[in-house]
Amino acid sequence: MNVAPRLAGLVGDAVSPPLLALDHVSISYPTRDGILTAVEDVSFTLSAGERLVLLGPSGCGKSTLLRTVGGFLKPSAGEIRLHGKRIVAPGPDRMTVFQEFDQLLPWRTVLGNVRYALERGKSLPRGQAEEVARHWLTRVGLKNFVDAFPHTLSGGMKQRVAIARAFALEPALLLMDEPFAALDALTRRQMQDELLKLCEETGSTALFVTHGIDEAIRVGTRIIALTPHPGRLAASFDVLPESRVRGTAQFAELERQIQQSVFADPEAEYV
């Protein structure tokens, strides 16, 4: 009688589900000219603390895949599980930072945006939500802009607000949909470094989508390359901490490897 629960516990430990599991996921949607398959038969898992980068050229379905993990789209085959439970709808346990600057609510201040997200996503009372929001805005360097409205901010600052909002909700999984693609090269580099620091400090688990090889190496612990039309897994690379430092031989070597294995023409510009 008392063997069964213990056994169940043992089995549970042995096959403890990964944080995120994609199981033969295909995503297709109807267009005017017929049904388009954006992602085909993709499987991978992600454990806590990992930062997995989905790398690929435009049109490889990487953003579609990310949105499906976010719960905004439904897979047409296969399933996606978070903590072993099937994802059916969006939720604050998977906060997304989008590429577009209009992800902030224009009618709320910088502080209001983060506070509102905490009030709705974590059901915090107003005072506590404000405290947490201030803490995170200070961490992303926006202490002096808490009362500004989003339209008065630069693109990089808007992304900082979105990042603060995502981190403030302490999601199980952070989803980053090319968050720096619309920024200038200098700001992008700075934001990559700062994001990396935040992720390492908080031990966050993240799924990051990008088409930049150097960005992938910089922010990820593991990189999965996708082929275009439709998106399929092409290759996987582990990023060692020493490869993550720009300008080192290891960084250049990994960059070269990825470029060679993913893109037929090694000279192709892919940044």
Partner 1 sequence: MSDIAAPKLLRAPASQRAFAGTPWRRAVILAGFALIWELYARWLDNPLLLPTMGATLSALWSAILSGELPDRTLTSLRVLTTGYAIGVAVAAILTTLAALSRWGNEALGLLTSMFNPLPAIALLPVALLWFGVGTPSLIFVIVHSVLWPVALACHGGFLAVPPTLRMAGRNLGLSGGRFVVEILVPAAFPQILSGLRIGWAFAWRTLIAAELVFGVSARSGGLGWFIYTSRAQLETASVFAGLLTVILIGLVVEGVIFRTLTRLTVQRWGQEQA
242 conformational bin, left if phi > 0, alpha if psi -120 to 50, beta if neither: alpha
Segment contacting partner 1 by CB under 8 A, of 114-122, 179-187, 214-222, 245-253: 114-122
Residue 228 · residue 38 · CB < 8 Å = no
Residue 170 lies near partner 1 (rule: CB under 8 A): no
| Closest to partner 1 by CB, 115 or 211 | 115
Stretch binding partner 1 (CB under 8 A), from 6-14, 179-187, 194-202, 237-245:
194-202
Q: Point out which span in 55-63, 117-125, 208-216, 230-238 binds partner 1 (CB under 8 A).
A: 117-125
Which residues partner with 25 through β-bridges?
42
Q: How far apart are CA 58 and CA 55, in angstroms?
A: 10
Rounded Cα gap, residues 112 and 130, in angstroms: 8
Tokens of 201: 């400090």
The 28-67 site mask, x for binding partner 1 (CB under 8 A), equals ---------------------------------------x
Q: What is the DSSP letter of 231?
A: B
> Which residues in 150-169 contact partner 1 (CB under 8 A)?
150-152, 157, 160
* Contact with partner 1 (CB under 8 A) among 64, 65, 80, 98: 98
Coil/strand/helix, residue 45: strand
How far is the C-alpha of 111 from the C-alpha of 33, rounded, in Å?
45
Residues at the site binding partner 1, with contacts judged by CB under 8 A: 67, 70, 72, 89-92, 94-96, 98, 100, 102-107, 117, 120-121, 138-145, 149-152, 157, 160, 194, 197-198
